[in-house]
Amino acid sequence: MKALVYGGPGHRAWTDVPDPAIKDPEDAVIRVDAVTICGTDLHILKGDVPEVEVGRVLGHEAVGTVLEVGSGVRSITVGQRVLVSCISSCARCRFCRVGQYGQCLGGGGWVLGHTIDGTQAERVRVPFADGSLHVLPDGVTDEAAVLLADILPTSYEVGVLAAQVSPGDTVVIVGAGPIGLAAVLTSRLYGPSHVIVVDSSARRRQLALDLGADSVLGPDEDVRAFVDARTGGLGADVTIEAVGLPATFELCADLVRAGGRVANVGVHGAPVTLHLESLWIKDVTITTGLVDTRTTPLLLRMLAEGKLDVSGLVTHRFGLDEMQDAYDVFSAPEESEALKVVLFSSQGVA
């Protein structure tokens, strides 16, 4: 089969690899019908994730059809249409038993496209199929569902829930990429009084407004003065970092009020200065984390019932064999204006 293979920092290839096979009784093999590219994949290609070995098939988000299941799989059957979660769960370890699937000690967590071969391929082996696949309702499209493999639960859990967004809050989201825009969508579920989005792209700022943001600002504007004017000089109740750069984290820490919450969602590839000299006295809570995907069933139900509209997040569509072109587009958003790109196999349902 064909797959996108990591060849070391700066190198990738769409090439032939062996078909995946059942290795454990709890495995399933999935035909990939739709797949997307994540910003984390770009971090891997930059060399920011040294755990990823040369020769690894990348990708951790997909929708597909079950081709084969191991003898220990109980709830997934051949022929079902499923969402492949970015997080795998053994369902038995200390962390999985309390819903912290991202920290799985039993061989799960973030493994696809990280420590085992991933989803940017014609087929993928998924470990712990019962806890790592979600059967899709008939009315949910592949394109919509694949966004629930990672970005929606990530923005919701690591951003909105971790920051305890509450009714009446002033929320600042720094970064209007896919994660930041998904945070706009999911923060609105909690009735904040004002959602402010900061991003360098005028187009992404407009998309943020379309998805429910109340105000948008460019980084060259006086963001601190704007937030102070909205909050009587107190600062934001919640700031969500959705970029992964030192400057954007420091902006979030600067904008939060005393007693406020900073949720870091972005993946950082370089050290960040934590200004404890100014934060220590402010009772500020700073959270980080890897998504657990414990909310995926809830988000999937909301999507199926028309309560969650993700249609504005996909900007480019490709065939699966156009993987290299899709990477070129996704990795140059300033020129391509790409948010999420989705690739479909010939069997996929757009």
> What residue ranges do the domains of the chain occupy?
2-150+292-344, 153-287
- pLDDT band at residue 346 using 50, 70 and 90 as cut-offs: confident
DSSP 281: T
What are the pLDDT digits (tens) for 321-332? 999 999 999 999
- What's the pLDDT at 350? 47
Residue 1 CB burial class (10 angstroms; 0-12, 13-18, ≥19)? middle
What gap in Å lies between CA 173 and CA 179, rounded to an integer? 10
Architecture of domain 153-287: 3-Layer(aba) Sandwich (3.40)
Tell me the CATH number for domain 2-150+292-344. 3.90.180.10
CA distances from 119 to 92, 99, 245, 255 (A): 24, 23, 27, 38
Stretch (H or E) spanning 28 = strand 28-36
Q: What is the pLDDT of residue 348?
A: 53
* 60, 32 Cβ separation under 8 angstroms: no
User: Is the pLDDT assigned to residue 30 strictly greater than 80?
Assistant: yes
- 188-210 mean pLDDT: 96
pLDDT in tens, 129-142: 999 999 999 899 99
| Closest alpha carbon to 61 in 122, 141, 120, 126 | 120
